[in-house]
Amino acid sequence: MISNLLVVAPIFSLILVGWIARRKGALGPAATREVNRLVVYLALPALLFDIMAGASLDQIWRPDFIVAFAAGCGVVFALTIAMRMGEGRGLADAAIDGLNASYANTGFMGFPLILAVVGETGMGPTLVATILTVSGLFAVAIVLIECSLQARARPHEVAWRTLKSLVRNPLLIAPALGAAALATGFHPPAPVERFLDLLGGAASPCALIALGLFLAGDAAEKGGEARPGTAGRLALMKLVVHPAATWAIAGPLMGLPAPLVHVAVLLAALPTGTGPFMLAEFYGREARLTGSVVLSTTALSVVTLSAYLAFAGTP
């Protein structure tokens, strides 16, 4: 329990810094959007490129783990979209809610938690899960959002406008360029790598501070009620259904080795990352609901992760 608290404490602290800065007037009403845009257009693309370009094929080419973890995310993502659209939500909002339920905080919390619980042997699968989450799952959500926003046009116009939006989206361009660099063996010069490290390092703290800024804003800024019942259902999907689905796929269905199953479930059991919040704020969707899910799952994950570790032990 104490080790899990130590992992999440810095995350809550950064959210709290943003909240205090907004409440005390150190940062004004426009800060939330501007800090978020800094993350979306500069810091996160640098981080995504760096993750992809800096990976090695030995680290990321684990077909059984890739299929198991991706399938767990995909099942929960699709179920949540179906559930939310059945409740009358549009595709764009449902796609963000799908991320709320399936976008594990692998980048910010996964590495320290797996290192503490599993050790160095878990770093490769954690990198794979991070790439799948912040690149693959994120890309699918962006495609669905863009298609939804262009839905009133003719089919060929939808396809053309969506394609133009996607090729200009830095959150898709950056990992694609990183994958190209990995495939060709290109290594950026040392000054460029240092630049990417510095810029990418701002993604995590700035995203968390932006969340704190947003949550501290006036009700008029928040774009609607958070609806605790909806946030609770999404939190349940993230903290219970997501790891359960991943275990069922990785263990009984695919028969992965116990250590890999353990790592996959631990990563799936992580709380919702800040990616869905960034998209919700960027596209002007229900960011308050997403912020509530990020906060509640982060707090509750201390209990759920501890319960899982007590039950599973060390394989």
Q: What is the pLDDT of residue 76?
A: 97
Distance between CA 123 and CA 240 in Å, rounded?
A: 23
pLDDT at 162: 64
Structural tokens at position 228: 């605790």
DSSP letters of the chain? -HHHHHHHHHHHHHHHHHHHHHHTTSS-TTHHHHHHHHIIIIIHHHHHHHHHHH--HHHH--HHHHHHHHHHHHHHHHHHHHHHHHTT--HHHHHHHHHHHH-B-IIIIIHHHHHHHT-GGGHHHHHHHHHIIIIIIHHHHHHHHHHHHTTTS-HHHHHHHHHHHHHT-HHHHHHHHHHHHHHHT----HHHHHHHHHHHTTHHHHHHHHHHHHHHS-GGGTTS---HHHHHHHHHIIIIIHHHHHHHIIIIIT---HHHHHHHHHHHTSPB-SHHHHHHHHHTS-HHHHHHHHHHHHHHHHHHHHHHHHHH---
Residue that has been written with the tokens 């990321």 in this structure: 60
Q: Of the candidates 298, 242, 250, which has an alpha carbon nearest to the alpha carbon of residue 109?
A: 298
Instruction: For the chain, give every domain's residue range.
Output: 38-191+223-312
Summarised one tens digit per residue, pLDDT across range 90-149 is 999 999 999 999 999 887 788 878 877 888 788 888 888 988 898 789 888 988 888 887
d(CA 76, CA 241): 7
Query: 38-191+223-312 sits in which CATH class?
Result: mainly alpha
Alpha carbon 189 to its chain centroid, in Å, reads 29
290 φ/ψ angles, rounded to the nearest 5 degrees = -65, -40
Q: Which two structure tokens, joined as six digits, stand for 151?
A: 């839905």
Query: What residue ranges of the chain have pLDDT lower than 50?
Result: 219-220, 222-225
The identity of residue 146, as a single letter, is E
Q: Which residues pair with 272 in a beta bridge?
A: 104
Contact 206, 39 (CB under 8 A): yes
- Supply the DSSP string of 48-69, one letter for each residue: HHHHHHH--HHHH--HHHHHHH
- pLDDT value, residue 205: 87
Q: pLDDT tens-digit profile of 193-218?
A: 999 999 988 887 888 888 788 778 75
pLDDT for 156: 65
